[in-house]
Chains A and B, each alone.
Chain A
Amino acid sequence: MQRTISFTLNGKPARVTVDDERMLLWVLRYDLGLTGTKFGCGAAQCGACTVILGKEAVRSCVTPMKDVAGKQVLTIEGLRKDGRLHPIQEAFVKHHAFQCGYCTSGMILNAYALLLKKPRPKRADILRLMDDNLCRCGSHTRIVDAIQEAAGAMKVDAR
């Protein structure tokens, strides 16, 4: 059904008039021009399109706009605050936790939700909670290191 949907996007109010069954991924990328969120599989199988909805990491390729109404959406473009990288982004840079970078937005946002839930994750927690985000370049080992580092940095920040 075509309707106007209001939500919060990266901290700012957003309104789109769309078919409410359309998936958030396409609205972000092509209606709103936020191309940091990537298409990888279109079927919730890779995590390239991960964004934060409320406090949860969701697959925007299977998230219809009707589920977004009234909610808070955070994409990779909204993670930097006042020009400063988020500690997870800092850690990804420091560890070079990417190669081609195509999975990176999804990895960072999935890690963001992971650290909301488990601020002090063990390595095994990270492996388990990141398991559905795929990376073909094999950046996994550095992504794990980066998440651990970010967890440490955020703990310090929080104090």
Chain B
Amino acid sequence: MNPDSDLSRRGFLGLGGSGLFVLFRVEPLEAFQEPARLPSRQAGPADFNAYLRIGADGRVGCMVGKVELGQGSMTSLAQLLAEELDVALDSVDMVMGDTDLCPWDMGTFGSLSTRVFGPRLRAAGAEARAVLLEMAAERLEVPAARLQVKDGVVSDPSSPAKRVTYAQLVEGKRIERHLAKVPVKPVSAFTVVGKSPRRKDALEKVTGTAKYAADMAIPGTLHARILRPPAHGATLKDVDTSGAGKVAGVRVVKDGDLVAVLHERPDVADQALGLLKAQFDRPQPAVDDKTIFDHLLKAAPHAQVVGESGSLAEGEKLSASIVEETYLNSYVAHAPMETHSAVASFEGGKVTVWVSTQTPFPVKQQLAQALGMTPQNVRVITPYVGGGFGGKSASQQAIEAARLAKITGRPVQVVMDRAEEFFYDSFRPAAVVKIRSGTAADGKLVLWDFQVWGAGDREARPFYDIPHQRTRSAGGWMGGNPPGMHPFAVGPWRAPSVNTNTFARESHIDILANKAGRDPLEFRLSHLSDKRMRRVLEAAAKQFGWKPARTPSGRGVGVACGIYSGTYVATMAEVAVDKGAGAVQVKRVVCAQDQGVTVNPDGSRQQMEGSITMGLGYALTEEVHFKGGEVLERNFDTYRIPRFSWLPKIETILIDNPEVPASGCGEPPIINMGAVIANAIYDAVGARLLQLPMTPERIKEALKRA
């Protein structure tokens, strides 16, 4: 790459300083780009130069294919590198989600940034440090063992004149030396990891200078509004564009299925869109938000057994009482505050696309395919992303922007409006869970037969001690479902599958505790030999001040626990229920989490608070209404997400667990929110909610049944 053009492009975007865009030269990493050339899709390049560059000025560039969605990985990944490399955290400049500059990465999801990518980045830092130490030893003519490193300066403590900086050693060049099997630091030696520094994105985000995809101002940009079908499955019969074409400055593009109006001003393009007269053929709606559950049972593929031990027949024999129950949850939207957006610009046979996405490298591949270009000529840049939660894995707007840019010969911006955002969202699937369980005469759980339709099998298997059990799953969020099973796209939603499976399991356990006349916490602990789960439950109980009682005690307290992506989490909540209105106010939530080593405690707490707050939504209000392929949700007036007035007092507890490597913290606490609130409602008023969200109507119905 020509460094001048690189610098001028950055200069022209007016970006610089801290954060995502740095003013030092980074060579493209084409050798690392293509997944086909990598040993496995999960692994990244082995050469540490792919992840880090030490500039002549001593600044350290850290290149990662991960993106900053709000989860704070810009800071926590910088901490990992600074720790292993022994440089000041402030000297690290993060370059994230730029396919020309960063090593290939699958995407930012599944709480994997810390758990899977973290060790790779640490290894790169540790190896680079060892190489630099070796180089310093040669330069200073001192044995490496005598040298120490602090803030990128290598020195010999016994002779102050013997010192050299990383920058002097590297002189802005690539480091060509390598060492095998350099160990990373032990947890006990950490000085940067385990602290809570100021977030690297703080200043830009409070001053409005943080750039998101739609903020990329390229001279000559046309803003596109695209004709959308009224329902999924509808096909365009005819469109009359004459009205829109008459608006001054509007360009109309018809390219196969893509019909768009473009203008230099987005609001004028939007008005022009309203002037298109289109006719669509719409299929008869086959299913709606009420009939979906019966539909799922019929339309799902054959169930797979995902876990089995003991014998169900034996369990039946041992059971003195059997409890069967069915749990439902609706489709739920991601609804990030930033809608899907992209800006595409062609220049000299290359296209650059700024995209709000969680998957820059897969998007690059899709763009190359859609445009018939070689991947080397496609660059995806991911600026700050305004929330993802799994929903920005799919990024059709990038392809639309690029196609339109190619056709018009101008840079094109596509920003979905809120209705499009709901329409094209890949929802958390609606799902059904049936559980058949049995308890022996001594109160021990001996039988557990669990089946989930629609949601997927993650964390579907119970962690309770149950001798005879089976877990089955039929269809899920990850695709491969029979056509028509879900009337629109479904996909990963913060902790995919696990919200559904945890709601069912933890509600059912509560029902069993109630039937046995036992305290729900004590009942859980009596079936738990898993030490990590016991520990988070006990920590939550201590903070909460849990007092054992049979349900419903009238106090409105509940408990739930679960595992996601290697992280253990226990939640307790207190609610108040207004019986007349069917309204629930969650007053207090205590959440204890064991995520192994904690990279950034404050960042982890922030993610926990975020998960808990967001989880109030799928528990209480969030539900996508639809008729066949028509999504009835258009904006936040009908689709209610959590607000300030809902806010409970939130208390988070991080369990220190240095024996276990760091796992993710951004998703786990959300998994308990459905069940912990359902259980607390039951404890308050004796009404059992079996369907999410627990709307006032459903609460009033459950009260009638109670």
Contact = CB atoms under 8 A, between A and B. Distances in A.
A131 B211 contact: no
A92 B206 CA distance: 7
Interface residues of B, number: 58
B642 interface: yes
Contacts of A85: 206-207
B602 A76 contact: no
A120 interface: no
Given A43-B418, A46-B337, A103-B337, A138 B208 contact: no
Given A46-B636, A93-B202, A80 B267 contact: no
Given A76-B208, A93-B198, A101-B201, A140 B647 contact: yes
Contacts of B609: 138-139, 141-142
A130 B644 contact: yes
A97 B203 CA distance: 12
A102 B610 contact: no
Nearest to B636: A45
B70 interface: yes
Contact of A136 (B205, B335, B644, B647): B335
Contacts of B338: 38, 40, 100, 102
A57 interface: no
B90 interface: no
A96 interface: yes
Contact of A33 (B217, B337, B417, B645): B217
Interface stretch (B157-165, B302-310, B379-387): B379-387
Interface stretch (B117-125, B176-184, B462-470, B611-619): B611-619
B644 A144 contact: yes
B416 to A, nearest CB: 10
Interface of A: 22-23, 26, 29-31, 33-43, 45-46, 48, 75-77, 79-80, 85, 89, 92-93, 96, 98-105, 108, 126-128, 130-144
Nearest to B338: A102
A23 B208 contact: no
Contact of B384 (A93, A101, A133): A101
B199 interface: yes
Which of B217, B223, B338 has the largest count of A CB atoms less than 10 A from its CB? B338
A131 B612 contact: no
B643 A134 contact: yes
B210 A101 contact: yes
B614 A137 contact: yes
A40 B635 CA distance: 10
Contact of B70 (A31, A42, A46, A137): A137
Contacts of B214: 35, 39
Given A93-B206, A104-B206, 13 more contacts: A35-B217, A42-B417, A45-B637, A46-B337, A93-B202, A96-B602, A98-B205, A101-B70, A127-B647, A131-B643, A136-B389, A138-B642, A139-B609
28 contacts: A31-B265, A34-B208, A35-B215, A36-B209, A40-B339, A41-B636, A45-B635, A48-B337, A93-B198, A98-B206, A99-B387, A99-B607, A100-B70, A100-B385, A100-B386, A102-B387, A105-B208, A126-B644, A128-B645, A132-B643, A133-B644, A134-B337, A134-B641, A136-B387, A138-B609, A139-B610, A139-B613, A143-B644
Contacts of A103: 337
A52 B71 CA distance: 29
Contact of A23 (B72, B207, B267, B603): B267
A136 B336 contact: yes
A80 B207 contact: yes
B266 interface: yes
Interface string B66-91: 00011110000000000000000000
Contacts of B207: 36, 76-77, 79-80, 85, 89
Contacts, number: 167
A interface: dominant SS: loop
A106 B387 CA distance: 15
B212 interface: yes
Contacts of B607: 99
Contacts of B385: 100
Nearest to A25: B267
A41 B635 contact: yes
Contacts of B71: 99
Nearest to B647: A140
Contacts of B647: 127, 140-141, 144
Interface string B335-352: 111110000000000000
A23 B265 CA distance: 11
A138 B613 contact: yes
Contacts of A138: 609-614, 642
B641 A100 contact: no
Interface in B669-683: none
B606 interface: yes
Contacts of B198: 93, 96
A140 B606 contact: no
A59 to B, nearest CB: 12
A98 to B, nearest CB: 5
B635 A93 contact: no
A48 B341 CA distance: 15
Nearest to B384: A101
Contacts of B637: 43, 45
Contacts of B7: none
Nearest to A132: B643
